Amino acid sequence: MNRYTRDMRGYGPNPPHAQWPDGAKVAVQFVLNYEEGGENCVLHGDAGSEAFLSDIPGAASWSGQRHWNMESIYEYGARAGFWRLHHLFTEASIPITIYGVATALARSPEQVAAMKAADWEIASHGLKWVEHKDMPQDEERAAIAEAIRLHAEVVGERPRGWYTGRCSQNTVRLVAEEGGFDYVSDTYDDDLPYWLEVEDRDQLIIPYTLEANDMRFATAPGYITGEQFFTYLKDAFDVLYEEGSEGAPKMMSIGLHCRLIGRPGKLAGLKKFIDYIQGYEDVWTPRRIDIAKHWAKTHPHQRYARPSQMNKTDFVAAYGGIFEHSKWVAEGAFELELGPAHDSAVGLHNALCRTFRTASRSARMDVLTAHPDLAGKLAAAGRLTAESTTEQASAGLDILTDQERDIFTRLNTEYVAKHGFPFIIAVRDNDKNSIMAAFERRIGHDSDTEFDEACKQVERIAYFRLLAVLP
């Protein structure tokens, strides 16, 4: 099977209505990453110092050595930045989510007590603030388990949310397999939560952000002033609020770090943004766990047989009749590079049409001649396929007057005699009168033109048939 696992479709053009509480037009969710004391450091048993997300330009890891300046910048986040942010959010009465590195939480008992007293969610940010990309699966699985164990020991309960950040290609699957998380956030691929099927588990994914994120104070291109951060957040909020006002509410994630946004000059932009959104009444500012609970209740997952996951026998059995009596089209589509994007009517239609379009003229002619006459003898004898019967009935072709039936019989006979295949039209786009008019118009076309038109109509018919069985 030639399968492509990345999902390029998502919700497509019609995402679900979020139905945020109290009719909110946008959910603005603040995350504070607590990494201080969990970063790379020889004191933590690591090979060298941290080099990521600090105010040191061009920082590099010092192998086998402590980096005093780097350590002190991280310490600022715990000693000063955290408390400045704690005051800001508690004064604004906005509950937030902490992405807490387990070892960092263990080294910061007063901060953990303050998080809990404020009723902030403390989600897991892994065992240590280190790269997972090169971890063998068993090692990463063990690190996830130890992160949960230590988190529960320090906080008093296990985490219900997970975000690694510096993850591997296996992280999301391994966390989902653990089975105890209400959501996972190691993706950046949507403005709404969605469900991911991991074997027999339906795992809720709440995407995170790297752009509405103060990390850009420490990366290039990035923010220099708090005002730049405010401007970006305001612009993002305004667009999402407008979309919500038009009936498509979304979620806005904002990522923060104690050692970055906790600096006074940077905090000014965040404070200005909080003041801005609090001028709106129809904005929800939840914790991520609140979003997870809302989504699970409002949009529970429903599984269906996905074409890209079927074996060939089941695939052909399900879709072999989409092109009339021509299962070879489904057999050819099965061999293409199918993926999640083909698990919808539009996606699978594209795959089937690719097979049909690249077939020989004689093979396509066989598909055309497999179609029945409109309101012809097969219909009268009740020998149409179920799909054709429903389609012809939808246009009223099953209740023709004797005069109308005689006209259709004459036109069918003349059309086939001239072109060598039945007149084909997507009846769901038409009614009895428009079908008759098209019949009269198209019968005069040359056969090459009419062959091309009939093929387009066959594809259109296939699309309507897929809409009846797929999202």
What's 351-418 look like in SS3?
HHHHHHHCCCHHHHHHHHHHCCCCCCHHHHCCCCCHHHHHHHHHCCCCCCCHHHHHHHHHHHHHHHHH
User: Can you tell me the distance from the alpha carbon of 176 to that of 427, in angstroms, rounded to the nearest whole number?
Assistant: 46
Lowest mean pLDDT among 264-268, 299-303, 408-412, 455-459: 408-412
The stretch 295-299 carries a mean pLDDT of 98
What pLDDT score does 378 carry?
Answer: 43
Tokens of 420: 């060598």
Q: Which residues, in sequence order, are bridge partners of residue 215?
A: none
- What would the pLDDT profile of 152-175 be if each residue is shown by its tens digit? 999 999 999 999 998 999 999 999
What pLDDT score does 400 carry?
Answer: 66
What pLDDT score does 354 carry?
Answer: 98
What is the value of pTM for the model shown? 0.89
Tokens of 59: 């920082």
Judge whether 371 counts as a catalytic residue: yes
Of 252, 256, 307, 247, nearest to 276 by C-alpha is 252
User: Can you tell me the distance from the alpha carbon of 99 to that of 117, in angstroms, rounded to the nearest whole number?
Assistant: 16
What pLDDT score does 94 carry?
Answer: 98
Q: State the catalytic residue, choosing from 67, 371, 419, 445.
A: 371
Residue 380's pLDDT band, with cuts at 50, 70 and 90, is very low
Whole-number percent of the chain with pLDDT over 90: 74
Q: Flag whether pLDDT at 240 surpasses 90.
A: yes
3-state secondary structure of 439: helix
Lowest mean pLDDT among 142-151, 376-385, 446-455: 376-385
Residue 300's pLDDT band, with cuts at 50, 70 and 90, is very high
Q: Which residues contact 13 (CB under 8 A, 6 or more apart)?
A: none
Q: Which residues contact 358 (CB under 8 A, 6 or more apart)?
A: none
Of 341, 439, 323, nearest to 388 by C-alpha is 323
DSSP state of 79: I
Residue 309's pLDDT band, with cuts at 50, 70 and 90, is very high
* Long-range CB pairs of 385-394, under 8 A, 24+ apart, other chains included: 385/321, 385/324, 385/325, 387/321, 387/324, 387/465, 388/324, 391/427, 391/428, 391/461, 391/464, 392/427, 394/427, 394/428
**Of 289 and 392, the one with more pLDDT:** 289
